[in-house]
Structure 1
Amino acid sequence: MGRATVSLALVNGRGESSEFVFDERSTCLIGRGEDCSPRLPNDEHHRSVSRHHCMLDINPPDVRIRDFGSRNGTFVNGAKIGQRDPGQSAAQGRGLGTQERDLKDGDEVRLGRSVAFRVNVAVPPEEATTLVVSPEQAATLPPPGCVKCGREITQELGRRGAAAGRYVCAACQANPQDVMTLLVKLAQAGTRSDLRAIAEYDLLGELGRGGMGAVYLARHRESGRLVALKLMLPRVAANEVARARFRREVELTRRLRHPNIAALYEDGFADGAFFFTSEYCEGGSLDKLLQIRGGTLPVDEAVRYALDVLEGLDYAHNETVVHRDLSPSNILLAESTGAGMRGHGGARGSAPYVAKVGDFGLGKAFDQAGLSGLTRTGAKAGKPWYVARQQVVNFKNVPKSVDVWALAACLYKCLTGTYVRDFPGDVDQWHVILYSSPVPIRQRDPHVPRALAEVIDTALIDQQEIGFESAAAFREALRSAWKSL
């Protein structure tokens, strides 16, 4: 099965390779820095290229380039898309805001005065973005439309085109409950085999929503079992190839069975939308609990939940599954049926809930299948507050330690009510992650116990390597610091 690819061919300058090929969702830095790929030599010939010159956001066949306030500019087919003014420092250049451009097959990108790449976009027949028909046949074809409202979406689909697959338009994606209600209604009619997985459920209400869709409480008609019914709406048309990739990755997630991971049950695809049923956690999500409690939690309770999550992460990482999107919104809380430490060693109080990780691997699978679209930097999409630097530098092959970093950032939020980094509204979020270090936790709140603060600050190191390589290592250090309080 072929895949759409985006490749960069070096036509002027020297690098570690003459061609770089990307066949799945990825981001990469281009420049002379050691963490860049493509990395350009740090020599006189390439002095006009900045250390972190620009960034590519790739979701084949789509690709976007953004300048990072480079000293000598980034040019697309000779037209400048970004450059800091003479006399401005690199830090000032990073505050210029979003300077980006979508690229297409055949474009030439020049960095500074000495390096140029040619962009090549290849799409195999099974992922062709346009129908191969004669002009006469094309005139008789109806325009592509949203599978829910029928609105013509030719322009919205862009170059992925009419044959790219079933798609829910942006307007309908803004109202996911309408999409979910329609799917359940069609499922209950009993005429759609692709909706069989949710045919016996009734919707009871919305539990929450995010950038990729929403989640609802549903009850099975016969058994009365409550489940979380999740809807995921691709930002691009989901063709058969992308759907198959996504379902293969989801199957890995379905196999995860652990007390600290919310179980995934059924899944399906219909009318441009993916849907799943999973374990329902009565306590809601950690971010909702923080709202109820005024933004922070007591130390004992926060650490208890962190240790629960680390148990789940350790298990999943040993099964080679990385979450990549961990945040308080997908740390779920189930009612605790027992007192004590649930195996955390010691007897420091109790917590009303057991923490479980939700949506394990779904965000990663969505990205790798090419269903998440590209991220507009100016839109502040996603949750950059819990993203480690390594996830920006090496998006495709992120280490499992990015989940450890994200969990430490969640614990930081529970204890201080603030994020680990400051995100000024006029600065690209990726710049902040790349160029600023986490603020030591006791600078946010000096009441955080010193021994605990040292462990959390270590976990949040993300220059070169993350402070703790594994969930088990962080868990043991956190448990030891907590017991010493």
Structure 2
Amino acid sequence: MNVLEALAGQLAVQRQLVAPAALEQILATSRGGGGTVSQLLLRGGLLGREALGQLLAAAATSQVVCPACGLSALPQQLAAAAPLDCPRCGGRLLVAETEEATSPPSFPAGRPSSSGSGRRDRHPFTPHGASPLDTRRIAAASGSARFDGDPTGTMRFRRALKEGGTVVPFELLEELGRGGMGVVYKARHTTRDELVALKVLRSGALASKKQRKRFEREVQAMARLDHPNVVPVRDVGRLGDNEYFTMALVDGRSLGDVLKTERLPARRAAEVALDVARGLEHAHQEGIVHRDIKPDNILVDRGGRALITDFGLVHDTDAEERLTRSGALVGTPYYMSPEQARGRRDLLGPQSDVYALGVVLFQMLSGQLPFRAETQLELVEKIVKTPAPAVSSLEPSVPSDLDAVVATCLRKRPDDRYPSAGALAADLERFLHGRPVSVRPPRSRRLVVVAGAAVATLLVLGGG
């Protein structure tokens, strides 16, 4: 196996361009003679040629480090048979880029010597002339729990929460959830006496001034959205090293949690989809595309109303940058539109959200997803090339008009879907009011209906 190609793949994972599971599959396929790492990355549509070239160049000037034992080395010292395995302890190696290789640099160049002399420590394995690496910081950046760092940069907030304290101007009440970009708290805005959902981004989540300004602009755009099916954004700001924003606190639960325990009847599924389509249409009219519609980003309040949340306020701020550079994947894979799966940023738009909502509606009606796969490579291939099954093929009780609505949302070409979320909403309203929808059911269902009619005609003729 080519060492630099393997390191380029690992670097793609660290830059969040490729999922870790996808890289593991690629490495296994390459070891089995299924192609080089570069070929598999390109063939699977995970990276473009330009992005791959940049990663290979960065890998060539990088060092590698083992967070487990502290070993650091240069690429030429690694074994071709297992280039990402630490030669000392067998742990997974990480790539530490130089400042010239990436902007901003992924990891620091070193740490001061404990002797206080200003000399930098060098691990005995570090080659002469190589910069020593701060493995503790690298482990934190990679999400490792082996070290005592603060990977999300929110320790101050967790400490305040534990002590029942206040981080001005918020009183933290409880933690609601956490992810790769930060933590969400239930909090009280002390000056407005209002309960809010406070999302605190990890330190360094928005590393450059350009990213921070774009983040602020996107939050401000979101704050302009005023619709009953969109969770409103209240505030945006910075506390110490952490950016934050607040949203209205919804008394309810996510659609994802709902679908873990129940499958929705057709009418109820259509009502939820209608709420989401209306919220999306409002956002699209304001020039905002969600890009990550999925059950976890749809909240259902106690009155049954569905609201959209998390309009890519964080991940699209830097994912947009990644897409510009490389055409890499952005969004939750199972709900991605074909154009997202192909990395076609130029085709992303309102109809990408329509596709994702179609996947959610498919899941609400059938309890399953239209495409499943063991690896991200296989999933992308199916999303891009394989026609989506009719939801009625998995759940025959789905009404034909709703079957037609889902099939239209899931068409491969954006122009073949509903032209807007508003058009989708109009058909969902027609269905709920017992009127015919504007689209036809899937071909497979029409063939079944025609065949059934033919059989019935023959039976009548035979009986006569």
User: Given the alignment of the two structures, is residue 478 of structure 1 paired with residue 428 of structure 2, yes or no?
Assistant: yes
Report how far residue 442 of structure 1 moved: 0.8
Equivalent residue number for residue 372 of structure 2: 422
Query: CA, structure 1 residues 473+412, in 2 after alignment: closer, same or farther (shift >3 Å)?
Result: same
Distance 2:388 2:36 in 1: 33
Report how far residue 437 of structure 1 moved: 2.9
Aligned with 1:413: secondary structure? helix
Equivalent residue number for residue 307 of structure 1: 274
Distance 2:242 2:265 in 1: 40
Report how far residue 281 of structure 1 moved: 0.8
Indicate which of 316, 338, 342 corresponds to 1:393.
342
Equivalent residue number for residue 283 of structure 2: 316
User: Given the alignment of the two structures, is residue 358 of structure 1 paired with residue 309 of structure 2, yes or no?
Assistant: yes
Report how far residue 387 of structure 1 moved: 0.7
Query: CA, structure 1 residues 406+58, in 2 after alignment: closer, same or farther (shift >3 Å)?
Result: same
Report how far residue 282 of structure 1 moved: 0.4
| Counterpart residue type for residue 319 of structure 1 | E
Report how far residue 154 of structure 1 moved: 3.8
Report how far residue 209 of structure 1 moved: 3.5
Q: How does 1:62-461 map to 2 (within 5 A)?
A: 80-81=36-37, 102-105=55-58, 127=104, 140=118, 154=134, 170-171=144-145, 178=155, 180-182=157-159, 199-221=168-190, 223-233=192-202, 238-270=207-239, 272-291=241-260, 294-335=261-302, 352-362=303-313, 363-368=315-320, 383-397=332-346, 398-425=348-375, 427-461=377-411
Contact 1:167 1:272 in 2 (8 A): no
Report how far residue 445 of structure 1 moved: 0.8
Query: CA, structure 1 residues 265+395, in 2 after alignment: closer, same or farther (shift >3 Å)?
Result: farther
Report how far residue 244 of structure 1 moved: 2.3
Equivalent residue number for residue 161 of structure 1: none
Indicate which of 467, 479, 482 corresponds to 2:417.
467
Aligned with 1:432: secondary structure? helix
Aligned-residue RMSD, C-alpha? 5.0
Contact 2:201 2:242 in 1 (8 A): yes
| Counterpart residue type for residue 325 of structure 1 | D
Distance 2:58 2:154 in 1: 38
Distance 2:352 2:318 in 1: 18
Contact 1:188 1:200 in 2 (8 A): no
Contact 1:206 1:214 in 2 (8 A): yes
Contact 1:214 1:230 in 2 (8 A): yes
Query: CA, structure 1 residues 359+482, in 2 after alignment: closer, same or farther (shift >3 Å)?
Result: same
More RCO (CA 8 Å, sep 6+): 1
Distance 2:205 2:306 in 1: 33
In the superposition, the TM-score normalised over structure 1's length comes to: 0.59
Query: CA, structure 1 residues 81+290, in 2 after alignment: closer, same or farther (shift >3 Å)?
Result: closer
> Structure 1, unaligned stretches of length 5 or more?
1-54, 85-92, 95-99, 108-120, 144-151, 159-165, 190-197, 336-351
Contact 1:228 1:278 in 2 (8 A): yes
Query: CA, structure 1 residues 142+483, in 2 after alignment: closer, same or farther (shift >3 Å)?
Result: farther
| Counterpart residue type for residue 368 of structure 1 | E
Distance 2:409 2:106 in 1: 44
Distance 1:141 1:323 in 2: 49
Report how far residue 214 of structure 1 moved: 3.4
Q: Deviations over 1:383-406 (max 9, x none)?
A: 211111111224433122111111
Distance 1:244 1:142 in 2: 35
Could you say which structure has the higher helix fraction? Answer: 2
Contact 1:126 1:241 in 2 (8 A): no
Aligned with 2:57: secondary structure? coil
Aligned length: 356
**Structure 1 stretch displaced more, 435-444 or 266-275:** 266-275
Contact 1:460 1:466 in 2 (8 A): no
| Counterpart residue type for residue 104 of structure 1 | A
Could you say which structure has the higher strand fraction? Answer: 1
Contact 1:405 1:459 in 2 (8 A): yes
